Amino acid sequence: MLQIIVVQSGDSIYSLAKKYGTTSDSIVSLNQLNPENTLVIGEALVVNTTGNTYYVQPGDSLYKIGKTYNVSMDTIAQANGISLKSTLQIGQRLYIPRGKKRSVESIGYLQPTSNPIKPSLLESARQESKYLTYIAPFAFEARRNGTLKEPVGLQSILEIANQNRVIPMLVITNIENGNFNSGLVKPLLTDTTIQSKFITNILTVAQKYNMTDVHFDFEDVAPEDRTAYNEFLRNVKARLPRGYTLSTTLVPKTSADQKGRFYEAHDYKAHGQIVDFVVIMTYDWGWQGGPPMAVSPIASVKKVIQYAKTEMPASKIMMGQNLYGFDWTLPFKQGNPPAKAVSSVGAVNLARKYNVPIQFNYIAQASTFKYYDEQGKEHEVWFEDARSVQAKFNLIKDTGIRGISYWKLGLPFPQNWVLLNDNFQITKKREARPSSPSYGLDDIYTP
């Protein structure tokens, strides 16, 4: 049974293997560790215990354990001869009958910056595609005249998708000169001639590359173009071939009348009626230009999902999940150089380098630490670890939403993929039969 543990002072890979009835090789493999490195105090690891044995960890409850393993609190209590009101003791051994895993969909965005694509990025896509329903090359850039600029390295990504039974998404953005641009998208939404040409070009590309989900990531759309954006989506939906789906990206909102430049044109209710599913960007509360804080604090994510469920079916909601954290230089002041992005593995390496323990913030459900660099400057780091993504997986189960969408592949976070596979059955694309080479979402099954 897989479970999350936290490194304490004096722990080693060998001592943890002995304590939890597993092997050093298993711990190294599951967490992709360098066995020559020391472990970091506060570091979260995934271990494979014997049988269905679970060892109680700090912050555990019967409810939390049951949600993680898809089984009721009553079942755990009965299997262990304890009361539902029992106080769990850290280190206590429990027998956990495993429940049935729920099927969900998953998306992995991929953002190549060079052509050819860096081999390490392609290898990441190959490995992580095993856990994906969709792969999303970022991105086809819309042009004001209704044409599309193709992303670099597309053919390599399509080959990986085909080899791993993953659906390639045709992600279309209103990015111009590196930034989302409201002026770019306006003629596409309001000029009928240009729009018709634009949709025709989209369908041509989708069919050429067998990209059976058409996805619009239009951000910074002018508030006055809200209705035009909704109508545009209806027009695209009406022209999609059978077996193709339509999806959109939405900024994280908590009310229909939320004000702000990026919020007003994103109409949750209309998108919920028109498209097949949405990806909500439930991250970047902590961002590069803002003060240090968790990137996706659990309470904030939950509020957005709860609001979204009032406007559309849960079966249409994909929760966004960051595979990155940030390293801020202190003291924070507006206008400072932006925080540096770090992966989960990179954050742990920083804590090891500067010999500082990792703290887990139970309110945000995120990991953090501070350190001083060689110049004596203080830093604050926030990042995702096994505990924080497990909290998000449990939120998916609680809310019954469609699944999860990762921004972005190529940032090493081995525990995420191990736990995703342990928590859920990932929906995969059916193998194409010779007589029917092209499949859409209607032909997805759970293996």
Of 286, 191, 261, give the one whose Cα is nearest residue 232.
Answer: 191
In tens, the pLDDT along 83-137 reads 999 999 999 999 999 999 999 999 999 999 888 899 999 999 999 999 999 999 9
In tens, the pLDDT along 334-363 reads 999 999 999 999 999 999 999 999 999 999
Give the single-character DSSP code of 443: G
Q: Please give the Cα distance from 74 to 238 (Å, whole number).
A: 49
Among 40-44, 287-291, 365-369, 442-446, which stretch is predicted with the lowest mean pLDDT?
442-446
Of 418, 416, 420, 414, give the one whose Cα is nearest residue 396.
Answer: 420
Give the single-character DSSP code of 337: P
In tens, the pLDDT along 147-163 reads 999 999 999 999 999 99
Cβ proximity of 407 and 110 under 8 Å: no
Q: Is 85 in the same domain as 185?
A: no
Paired tokens of 77: 């209590």
Q: Is 240 in the same domain as 267?
A: yes
Residue 283: CATH number of its domain: 3.20.20.80
Paired tokens of 364: 């945000």
Q: Is 24 in the same domain as 135?
A: no
Q: Is 161 in the same domain as 281?
A: yes
Q: Is the pLDDT of residue 434 over 50?
A: no
Instruction: Annotate 292-334 with DSSP letters as a single string.
Output: S--SS-HHHHHHHHHHHHHHS-GGGEEEEEESEEEEEESSP-T
Per-residue pLDDT at 429: 86
* Mean pLDDT, rounded, for 300-313: 98
Q: Is the pLDDT of residue 433 over 70?
A: no
Q: CA angle at residue 320 from 256 to 2, to 5 degrees? A: 135
* Mean pLDDT, rounded, for 186-208: 98
Among 205-214, 398-407, 438-447, which stretch is predicted with the lowest mean pLDDT?
438-447
Q: Is 134 in the same domain as 49?
A: no
Of 301, 228, 224, give the one whose Cα is nearest residue 270.
Answer: 228
Q: Is the pLDDT of residue 441 over 50?
A: no
Of the residues 95, 120, 143, the one at which a domain ends: 95
Determine which one of 128, 219, 380, 384 is catalytic.
219
Of the residues 70, 95, 120, the one at which a domain ends: 95
Helical packing angle, 226-239 and 192-209, nearest 10°: 50
Q: Which domain holds residue 12?
A: 2-95
Query: Of all residues in the chain, what percent carry a pLDDT higher than 70?
Result: 96
Instruction: Annotate 126-188 with DSSP letters as a single string.
Output: HHHGGG-SEEEES-EEE-TTS-EEPPTTHHHHHHHHHHTT-EEEEEEE-EETTEE-HHHHHHH
Q: Is 385 in the same domain as 320?
A: yes
219 noted as active-site residue: yes
β-strand partners of 329: 379
Label residue 431 by pLDDT band (50, 70, 90).
Answer: low
Q: Is 36 in the same domain as 151?
A: no
Three-state DSSP state, 217: strand
Label residue 439 by pLDDT band (50, 70, 90).
Answer: very low
Paired tokens of 32: 């992709």
Parallel, antiparallel or unpaired: strands 317-322 and 277-280: parallel
In tens, the pLDDT along 17-68 reads 999 999 999 999 999 999 999 999 999 999 999 999 999 999 999 999 999 9
Other C-beta atoms closer than 10 Å to the C-beta of 277 total: 26
Q: Is 322 in the same domain as 416?
A: yes
Q: Please give the Cα distance from 42 to 33 (Å, whole number).
A: 15
Of the residues 95, 120, 142, the one at which a domain ends: 95
Count of the separate structural domains present in the chain: 2
* Mean pLDDT, rounded, for 404-416: 97
Per-residue pLDDT at 382: 98
Average pLDDT, the chain: 95
Per-residue pLDDT at 430: 74
